[in-house]
Amino acid sequence: MSKYIDQIKKLVELQGIDSEMIKLKNRLVEAPKHLEELQASLESVDEQISHVKERLDLLTQQKKKLGQDIEDDSNKVKKSKNKLMMVNNTKEYHAMMREMDNLEKLNRFREDEMTNLIEDIQVHQEKMEELTSQRKSVNEELAISQSTLDSEMEDINKRIRVLEKNRKKACADVPVPILARYNFIKDRLNNPVIVSVRRGICTGCYISIPPQSFIEIQKGEQILSCPNCQRLIFWEEHFNNQDND
């Protein structure tokens, strides 16, 4: 019985190492994901910034051209007004008046367009400010996340190296055929490999152990597998009793 208990204890120890190893290796995969998300969000902000900038450049160009057109035509109107004094031909006078009128109408229309352009530019400038501050905060978070990740990864890798050494030691203590059985299950089933039986139920698959197997397991003579999930099983009470000794 004590040899049996000893073997189970070593397997449970091995299980503890493997469980921690699995958790750490998952963390190695999961940890960089937040950083990748931040990088993606930075790229998306940059894309929006370049889009808004393009639009702002275009609007600014339009504003400049429109301002020039307004100025040119209002100069034309001023010149015409001066010339008007010197015209004595009625037909020519009316033609000039009509032209001035058209230019003034055109400029009034342009002034409205200018108002819209200025509003549009303002909206885009506000959007740009918002995106720029968003970019700054994502960038800061990225820098923090990067340095935390680097140190976390380093710690995990250190711990994994310790566990690998511990695992070798723990394996050396387990008889070869039992270790082979453990590794066989480890490669084929989800963790854990060895589980306790509590109140007649396998804590790996939560299904009742058949009475015959339950009688066998209580004898504590050989390492049994759960008939349902195939995990190695031991009777919890054996260890409760040991603790009381």
Residues paired with 198 in a beta bridge: 201
The minimum distance between CB 189 and Zn ion, in angstroms, equals 10
Nearer to Zn ion, 204 or 220 (CB): 204
196 with 68: CB under 8 angstroms? no
The minimum distance between CB 179 and Zn ion, in angstroms, equals 20
DSSP per position, 108-175: HHHHHHHHHHHHHHHHHHHHHHHHHHHHHHHHHHHHHHHHHHHHHHHHHHHHHHHHHHHHHHHHHTS-
DSSP per position, 1-57: -HHHHHHHHHHHHHHHHHHHHHHHHHHHHHHHHHHHHHHHHHHHHHHHHHHHHHHHH
Helix axes 176-188, 2-84, angle to 10 degrees: 30
Residues 30-49 close enough to bind Zn ion by CB under 5 A: none
Nearer to Zn ion, 179 or 226 (CB): 226
The minimum distance between CB 35 and Zn ion, in angstroms, equals 39
Nearer to Zn ion, 8 or 226 (CB): 226
Residues 154-193 close enough to bind Zn ion by CB under 5 A: none
Nearer to Zn ion, 166 or 228 (CB): 228
Phi then psi for residue 39, to 5 deg, are -65, -40
The minimum distance between CB 174 and Zn ion, in angstroms, equals 21
Residues 197-236 close enough to bind Zn ion by CB under 5 A: 202, 204-205, 226, 228-229
Site map (CB under 5 A) of Zn ion, residues 115-144, x = contact:
------------------------------
Nearer to Zn ion, 7 or 213 (CB): 213
> Locate tokens 């511990």: which residue?
166
The minimum distance between CB 217 and Zn ion, in angstroms, equals 12
Nearer to Zn ion, 10 or 231 (CB): 231
Cβ neighbour number for residue 195 with a 10 Å cutoff: 20
Query: Contact positions toward Zn ion, by CB under 5 A?
Result: 202, 204-205, 226, 228-229
